[in-house]
Amino acid sequence: MRTTINQVQEMKRRGERIAMLTAYDYPSARFVEAAGVPMILVGDSLGMVVLGYSSTIPVTMDDMIHHVKAVVRGTQKSMVVADLPFLSYQASSDDAVRNAGRMLQEAGAQAVKLEGGEPMAATVRRLTQVGIPVQGHIGLTPQSANQFGGYRVQGKTASAAAQLVRDAEALQTAGAFSVVLEGVPAELAALITQRLTIPTIGIGAGPHCDGQVQVFHDMLGYYPDFTPRHAKQYAHLGDVIKQAVAGYIAEVAAGSFPATEHSTSMSAETMEALLAELATSES
Ligand code: KIV
Give the domain range for residue 257.
240-282
Contacts of 93 (CB under 8 A, 6+ apart): 122, 123, 126, 127
Residue 115 class from Cβ within 10 Å (0-12 exposed, 13-18 middle, 19+ buried)?
buried
Q: Are 213 and 189 in a shared domain? A: yes
Q: Are 216 and 196 in contact (CB under 8 A)?
A: no
Whether residues 26 and 78 share a domain: the answer is yes
**Contacts of 219-223 spanning 24+ positions with Cβ under 8 A:** 219/21, 222/49, 223/48, 223/49
Does 50 contact ligand 1 (Cβ within 6 A)? no
Give the Cβ contact number of residue 78 at 10 Å: 26
- Over the stretch 171-230, which tens digit does the pLDDT of each residue have? 999 999 999 999 999 999 999 999 999 999 999 999 999 999 999 999 999 999 999 999
In a mutational test of the pocket of ligand 1, which residue from 151, 180, 230 has the highest number of ligand atoms less than 8 Å from its CB? Answer: 180
Out of 16, 106, 115, 182, pick the active-site residue.
Answer: 182
Asked if residue 216 and residue 263 are part of one domain, the reply reads no
Residues 125 and 244 reside in one and the same domain? no
Q: Are residues 212 and 249 in the same domain?
A: no
For residues 188 and 262, membership in a common domain is answered with no
Is ligand 1 within 6 A of the CB of residue 203? yes
Residues 161 and 269 in one domain: no
pTM of the full predicted structure? 0.96
Q: What is the pLDDT of residue 222?
A: 97
Assess whether the C-beta atom of 180 lies below 6 angstroms from ligand 1: yes
Domain final residue, candidates 235, 253, 274: 235
Do 269 and 205 fall within a single domain?
no
- Check: CB of residue 77 under 8 Å from CB of residue 33: yes
The DSSP output letter for 85 is P
Per the prediction, the chain carries an average pLDDT of 98
71-123 pLDDT, tens digit per residue, is 999 999 999 999 999 999 999 999 999 999 999 999 999 999 999 999 999 99
CA of 153 to the centre of ligand 1 (A): 15
What percentage of the chain exceeds 70 in pLDDT? 100
Side chain identity at residue 124, one-letter code: V
Q: Ligand 1: does its nearest atom lie under 6 Å from the Cβ of 44?
A: yes
How far is ligand 1, taken at its centre, from the CA of residue 43, in Å? 5
Q: Is the pLDDT of residue 283 over 90?
A: no
Work out which ligand 1 atom sits closest to the CA atom of 43. 1
CATH number, domain at 117? Answer: 3.20.20.60
The residue whose CA is least distant from atom 5 of ligand 1 is: 43
* Ligand 1 atom at minimum distance from 180 CA: 7
Q: Residue 235 and residue 217: Cα distance in Å, rounded?
A: 10
Q: Among 24, 45, 112, 151, which residue has the most ligand 1 atoms within 8 Å of its CB, making it the best to mutate?
A: 45
pLDDT for residue 212: 98
Q: Which domain-ending residue is among 235, 255, 270?
A: 235
Structural domains counted in the chain: 2
Closest-lying ligand 1 atom to the alpha carbon of residue 214: 6
- Is the C-beta atom of 215 inside 6 A of ligand 1? yes
At 45, which amino acid appears?
A: S
- Considering only CA atoms, which of 215, 5, 16 is closest in space to residue 109? 5
Q: What is the 3-state secondary structure (H, E, C) of 200-220?
A: EEEECCCCCCCEEEECHHHHC
Residues 256 and 155 placed together within one structural domain of the fold: no
Please check whether residues 258 and 180 belong to one and the same domain: no
Whether 118 sits among the annotated catalytic residues: the reply is no
pLDDT band of residue 279 (cuts 50, 70, 90) is very high
